[in-house]
Amino acid sequence: MSSKPNSSTQNKNVRVAVINTLLSIQQGQSLSGLLDPLLNSLKGEDKGFAHALLLTTLRHWHATARLLDSLADNPIDEIEVRTTIQLGITQLLYLNVADHAAIHETVEAVKHIDYARASGLVNAVLRKVAKNPNKFRKKANKNHSLPNWLAQQLKSDWREQYDELTQSLRQSAPMFLRVNSLQTDSQSYINQLSEEEIAAKLVSLETAIKTGSTDETVAIKQQAIELIDSVPVSHLPEFEEGIASVQDAHAQLATPIIDALLQKAISANPTQNVRLLDACAAPGGKLAHWLELLGNQEKQETGLFHVKQSDGQSIPISKVELTAIDNEAPRITRIFENLERLQLPAPIVNSKLHLEIECVDATTWQAKEASDESAGFDAILLDAPCTATGVIRRHPDITLLRNEEDVQHTAQLQERILDNLWPQLKAGGYLLYATCSILKQENVEQIQAFLERHKDAVAVPFNNEKTNWGIEQEVGRQCLPVYKLSDALEPTAVEDDKLGSLDIKEQQGIAQAPAGGDGFYYAVIRKQS
């Protein structure tokens, strides 16, 4: 087993910093707001270890908590002590830090956070685990690492997929890129990556949507890039110039779907002024994708500005108004930053495209002219706020931060947003509802209830034979981050030099999941004339 080369003081500081971050998460702060300050507070060579330690501890948090309860003679209530021991167990079972370093440095860390009186207890529990790591790893891996309420909900929603799903949620997720189609195409960028020795592959996502009563369908294809090993974005060629964005493969489906439906709606109901809404738009991932698509289509003289009527004549669109709304001002700032990096909107569509970004509440907001029936939106993309249970692999703090009531509150918020936006969609227009949740209450059940409430709403089905992602639902499709896992692996030693890099691989008794996107739900709804 290899040991880490860092000096004792550095190791102690890293562990103390990670313990403090874990304590802040347990007090309700999110990992995304804490990670950068943590890494910035550490020296270069410690950043990779801190990142791996923090993420791996969070991924196995609930499992190590249960293990700790079974190991301690008396219940341990102090969260500082529990957190320190769980950090120690994670090093012994999942990170392959040498036993003596994991135990000694963790005991030192608990002294450093002013719990010196617990050092004997920390030492005793960690020694017990170090004596028989295989047994304890097996025990910790046997079950999920989720709060019980969430595991029960997943079992009820996804009985067939439950075991693989809960194991998958303890793993790291692959890194996917979306290329900016105004600058390059996916294959060319893969070649460019390969010149920088960044291995990547193409992931082709396909679907077709039945838009009419006949067999009429619109076909949609999106090519995402999957990196074989994650890298910091600063390593990606021309990233700052906006050639690519980091976006999950399944998240990349939203914009091509709504864009294709929009063209369908316009050709059925020709209009010169097209109005689009990206509701809940921040930080602008899907908005940027839409602007890239529109710009690229204009360059190629296809798409929205060149939609054909049934007689083959082009529809002379004079203005496209794209409104993006979100209710969180700091996240709106990120939309502007992202668009600036991507150099969007492209000058090529600027003369016809009018982009408005507003900080408003989608549960009450009314678009200008919405009172006029004919002036509604032609298409609405609603990437709704959700529990984000589909992205637990990327944000494992979600399993500590969410509770059962949050699901209820989030579902109510989604319902209010849907009900407020629906009257603002034109007859014949389409709404694409998306979430990165894997809970049916926020997804298929939400949309079924919506269809019950709105008799002018019709679910538009995906063509199953032509769709290579997700699982068919009564309405819409659900992607789960579930992949066949191989049998439990023996832990492999972490090379010393790899501990310094940010893309450290988790070493554990569970196989790394093969490539696969996040949990996502999509439903298409059309408003009847």
Ligand X SMILES: C[S@@+](CC[C@H](N)C(=O)[O-])C[C@H]1O[C@@H](n2cnc3c(N)ncnc32)[C@H](O)[C@@H]1O
The rounded Cα 292 to chain-centroid distance in angstroms is: 21
Burial class (CB in 10 A: 0-12, 13-18, 19+), 139: middle
When the beta carbons of 105 and 518 are compared against ligand X, the nearer one is 518
User: Should residue 281 be labelled a site residue for ligand X when binding is judged by CB under 6 A?
Assistant: yes
Which residue in the set 283, 390, 461, 509 belongs to the binding site for ligand X (CB under 6 A)? Answer: 283
Any binding-site annotation on 281? yes
Which residue in the set 208, 260, 280, 346 belongs to the binding site for ligand X (CB under 6 A)? Answer: 280
Any binding-site annotation on 282? yes
Q: On the CB side of 163, how many CA atoms lie within 13 Å of its CA?
A: 8
When the beta carbons of 106 and 327 are compared against ligand X, the nearer one is 327
Q: Which two tokens stand for residue 385?
A: 């706020």
Q: Are 527 and 456 in contact (CB under 8 A)?
A: yes
CA distances, 452 to each of 441, 446, 448, 466 (Å): 15, 10, 6, 28
Q: How many residues bind ligand X (CB under 6 A)?
A: 17
CA-nearest of 147, 146, 106 to 125 is: 106
When the beta carbons of 19 and 257 are compared against ligand X, the nearer one is 257
Residues 326-345 binding ligand X (CB under 6 A) are 326-328, 331
When the beta carbons of 240 and 328 are compared against ligand X, the nearer one is 328
Site string for ligand X, 74-113 (x = CB under 6 A): ----------------------------------------
Q: Is 436 an annotated catalytic residue?
A: yes
The piece of 190-198, 325-333, 396-404, 438-446 that touches ligand X (CB under 6 A) is 325-333
* Torsion 39-43-44-47 (CA) sign: negative
Long-range contacts of 39-46 (CB under 8 A, 24+ apart): 41/17, 42/13, 42/14, 42/17, 43/10, 44/500, 45/6, 45/10, 45/500, 46/6, 46/10, 46/13, 46/14
Which residue in the set 286, 395, 426, 477 belongs to the binding site for ligand X (CB under 6 A)? Answer: 286
User: In one letter, which amino acid is 385?
Assistant: P
Phi-psi category of residue 28: left, alpha or beta, with phi > 0 → left and psi -120 to 50 → alpha: left
Strand partners, 11: none
Any binding-site annotation on 361? yes
Tell me the CA end-to-end span of the chain in Å, nearest whole number.
68
When the beta carbons of 21 and 323 are compared against ligand X, the nearer one is 323
Q: How far is the CB of 381 from ligand X (least distance, A)?
A: 8
Q: How far is the CB of 235 from ligand X (least distance, A)?
A: 23
Which residue in the set 216, 229, 240, 361 belongs to the binding site for ligand X (CB under 6 A)? Answer: 361
The rounded Cα 141 to chain-centroid distance in angstroms is: 24
Which residue in the set 385, 396, 509, 516 belongs to the binding site for ligand X (CB under 6 A)? Answer: 385
- Given the residues 359, 386, 436, 479, select the one marked as catalytic: 436
Residue list, annotated binding site for S-adenosyl-L-methionine? 280-286, 326, 361, 383
Residue list, annotated binding site? 280-286, 326, 361, 383
* Binding residues for ligand X (CB under 6 A): 280-286, 325-328, 331, 361-363, 383, 385
Positions annotated as catalytic residues are 436
